[in-house]
Structure 1
Amino acid sequence: MENKAVVLGSNYYIGLSLIRCLGINGITVVAIDHSRKDTYGSESKYCSERIIAPHYREETREFISFLKNYANKQSHPPVLFPSADPYVEVIDQHLEELKEFFLIPQTEPGLYTKTMNKEKLHKLAIEKGVAVPETVSMYEEDFLEKAENTLKFPCIVKPVDSHTFVSVFRRKMFKVQNREELETAVAKAKKAGLEVIVQRIIPGFDDHMYTFDAYLNQNAKITHWTTFQKYRQYPINFGASVYTTQKYVPELYEIGAGFLEAIKFKGFVEIEFKKDAETGKFYLIELNVRTTNFNQLLYKVGLNMPYIAYRDLTGNPLEPKAIKEDTNIVFWYAFEDLLAVKEYIKTGQLSLGKVLVSYFKPKAYAIWDWKDPKPAFSFLKIILNKVFRKISRK
């Protein structure tokens, strides 16, 4: 394994999972962060180098130069793995120059950003014949009337740029019950300089959320894939997976494979769908174009996506593989799942009994690993420090 793997961002469990999935196969893994703070992922025994670089947004030009200089010193071009959307955006903006020094699956500049943009993604999906929830742009003429008469209330106000929206409002979207709340939500977004879309809520509880996870080679053909069903997410109803199971749903392959190959996507990607509780129809919600948060579950069911990408990009691809059965294994991010369960029970969406029964399944943990425990203890220390500071301020 002469090519190193460079992981951008180890301050979240996605980065930790990337490090483990690559390091366990004997690959030299390098964790690059802009600060030492909370980088518990780099505490993994599978991390060979820990490096501090300029901030990817505050010092973007310096960050890109830093990456190029680092790669230029290596005997073989490293494989680049972003662990979060902001890193993906920066890579996409500088794809042409970074590809001279790193191995990166995507070859079309702008495709990452285009598919991360909610409005552009929905237009692309419609163009390719994939169903998406009915949507109205804030810039459309008479958009308030269209939202009220076409989408009906309640509906959701979603950001075009999710990461910036979350950093400002600490939530993924606004759920609005009437026209007044819609006007308020859009006004807040405008004040923050953010573009939003208004969208119909597809009926169904959180367990109607599904994903299609796949790897596409350099010919933009799917070589590895499986499907999942969410049980719980946080924040509840409109959040990220905290308790998810692998479940074989052939229809998701039929929809997802055609769409991804049609747009010539390359590398790992996850399509999130919601199944309409009334009609059974699947609607495309969004794409995750970087490693998913339940990557450890993918690894557990036999699809080590980071390693699959590494082997493909270094010229020694693995045999194609798909998981076409139910393994009954679940991904569990215990910390946020406990917060989610509290809200589900409080709002009457789940009973304690139903929650407890769900835990009797084999698990893939977000952070804990008996063979690599140090990151979990580092994470626990971070949480305890936050709790202590919060108590101290009272």
Structure 2
Amino acid sequence: MDVDRSVPGLIVKIGRYPLHHGGVGAIRSLGRLGVPMYAITEDRWTPAARSRYLREPFVWPTSGRESPERLLDGLARAGRRIGRPSVLIPTDEEAAVLIAEHQDALAEWFLFPAVEPGLPRRLASKQGLHELCAEHGVASPAAAFPESYEEVERFAARARFPLVAKNREAFVRRAHPAVPGTTRIGGPGELLALARGWGARPDVILQEYLPREEAEDWIVHGCFGAGGQPKAAFTGVKVRSWPPHAGMTACAYVVGNPELAELSAQFVKRVGFVGIVDLDWRFDRRDGLYKLLDFNPRMGAQFRLFENDAGVDVVRAQHLDLTGRAVPTGEQRDGDRYVVEHIDPAARLAYRRGRGGYTTPHAPTRARVGGTELAWAASDDPLPAMVMLARVVGPGAKHLWGLWRRT
């Protein structure tokens, strides 16, 4: 692989989530090719900060509520410290939106895709994505966006329950979100009780509930160049998530799906996005449609599930493309599996206890031999897994138990 090792990579994150396996995966992916890697971290004892492939952590705790000017100043300091142009690799929507909307201010120090500045914010917004799906003829769950409590009341009188509530602008971190995450609502009384705490203008989306026994969760990861040209694209099935059915991937398999790959590529091209994408689709067996739930305009935490037989994942494809290198083509490795060790045991137990008819018929019964990628454990880079375990025991375990109870 013709990698430009003179161009470093910088993992950019905004907010406090130290146990992020996606950042560790990106550091390892490029670091194993000899690319110098740097990362923004909460402290020096996060898993990412202890990777052997990281040249230097920039300890910079953020909350996501800082002004853009303050965040840009912090990135500029990192750029000056590195001392040469570096590829930016955002791990959350806040970082992706910041980079897109301030390209001129960042261009002195960094390399990144030349995306339309307002597009990542719109794609990361639940309402913006719903509108773009309608505009381009892509199926998505039916949704309502109430502007007042009175509109919630009128909606409750005619809505079909159960339904789900989500934060309208889910990528904006806030001290008191309207809902803690994807929240299933069983009836009008429950909806109205929740809505009383949403303020004068509810910042929520009320969305059609897709019965899990009639659906299957698919994921698409890709890296797209100018004009929507796919540099690398992959499809897979999500088997378990945490919290169950509504959270991050805990276990997934690589499964070929040319129809979904083409549907995703066409949507990316029509909206004009450039860069790495992580898409969540739900296949609704009732009408045979793939419905787009989330468009993450950045790498997904589970991106290391996907690698083609030329050794290319979406992060490597992005680095190659931004440094003017050719991106080797190849077939995805169907049957590979990805497991996130600190959440999959709890997810597995939850799915067994409350399965309710949920199935993933396209998932293999087991991974191919040698085809399991663990999020944390790696024989050539053991410290991140050890740090993860140290941080999970105690406060982390209490947090996981709280998620379990709420779910």
Measured against the shorter chain, the TM-score band is 0.7 to 0.9
Question: Is 1:40 aligned with 2:44?
Answer: no
> Does the CA contact (< 8 Å) of 2:22 and 2:91 recur in 1?
yes
> CA shift at 1:311, angstroms?
1.0
Aligned equivalent of 2:393: 384
- State the alpha-carbon separation in 2 of the partners of residues 24 and 206 from structure 1: 41
> CA shift at 1:194, angstroms?
5.8
- State the alpha-carbon separation in 2 of the partners of residues 96 and 317 from structure 1: 26
Change (3 A) 1:346 1:190: farther
Change (3 A) 1:290 1:384: same
> Does the CA contact (< 8 Å) of 1:225 and 1:321 recur in 2?
no
Task: Map Cα deviations across residues 115-170 of structure 1 (whole Å, 9 max, x no partner).
Answer: 00010111011101101111111128845444553x51000111112245786468
Q: 3-state DSSP class of the match of 2:43?
A: coil
2:349 to 336, 342, 360: 342
Q: What TM-score results when the alignment is normalised by the length of structure 2?
A: 0.85
Q: 3-state DSSP class of the match of 2:117?
A: coil
Change (3 A) 1:205 1:76: farther
- State the alpha-carbon separation in 1 of the partners of residues 102 and 195 from structure 2: 32
> CA shift at 1:348, angstroms?
4.3
> Does the CA contact (< 8 Å) of 1:213 and 1:226 recur in 2?
yes
Show structure 1 runs of 5+ residues with no match.
Answer: none
> CA shift at 1:365, angstroms?
0.8
Change (3 A) 1:382 1:143: closer
Alignment of 1:78-157 (within 5 A): 78-139=86-147, 142-146=151-155, 148-149=157-158, 151-157=159-165
- State the alpha-carbon separation in 2 of the partners of residues 167 and 298 from structure 1: 34
Q: What TM-score results when the alignment is normalised by the length of structure 1?
A: 0.87
> CA shift at 1:172, angstroms?
1.7
Alignment of 1:150-169 (within 5 A): 151-164=159-172, 168=176
Change (3 A) 1:203 1:210: same
> Does the CA contact (< 8 Å) of 1:85 and 1:163 recur in 2?
yes
Counterpart residue identity of residue 12, structure 2? L
Show structure 2 runs of 5+ residues with no match.
Answer: 400-407
Q: 3-state DSSP class of the match of 1:376?
A: helix
Aligned equivalent of 1:3: 7
Change (3 A) 1:367 1:106: farther
- State the alpha-carbon separation in 2 of the partners of residues 371 and 219 from structure 1: 38
- State the alpha-carbon separation in 2 of the partners of residues 274 and 65 from structure 1: 39
> CA shift at 1:69, angstroms?
3.7
Higher helix share: 1
Task: Map Cα deviations across residues 42-94 of structure 1 (whole Å, 9 max, x no partner).
Answer: 21111111122363643642331232243246553111111222322332342
2:296 to 280, 283, 288: 288
> Does the CA contact (< 8 Å) of 1:206 and 1:237 recur in 2?
no
> Does the CA contact (< 8 Å) of 2:146 and 2:202 recur in 1?
no
Question: Is 1:316 aligned with 2:325?
Answer: yes
Aligned equivalent of 1:248: 256
2:216 to 194, 208, 232: 208
RMSD: 2.9
Task: Map Cα deviations across residues 166-204 of structure 1 (whole Å, 9 max, x no partner).
Answer: 86468422211111111223333338x761111111233
> Does the CA contact (< 8 Å) of 2:43 and 2:60 recur in 1?
no
After TM superposition, which residue ranges in structure 1, 4 or more long, deviate above 6 angstroms? 387-390
- State the alpha-carbon separation in 1 of the partners of residues 353 and 174 from structure 2: 24
Q: Which moved more, 1:11-20 or 1:312-321?
A: 312-321
Change (3 A) 1:107 1:220: same
Q: Which moved more, 1:121-130 or 1:10-19?
A: 10-19
> CA shift at 1:300, angstroms?
7.4
Change (3 A) 1:50 1:348: closer
- State the alpha-carbon separation in 2 of the partners of residues 388 and 271 from structure 1: 29
Counterpart residue identity of residue 256, structure 1? S
- State the alpha-carbon separation in 2 of the partners of residues 171 and 388 from structure 1: 18
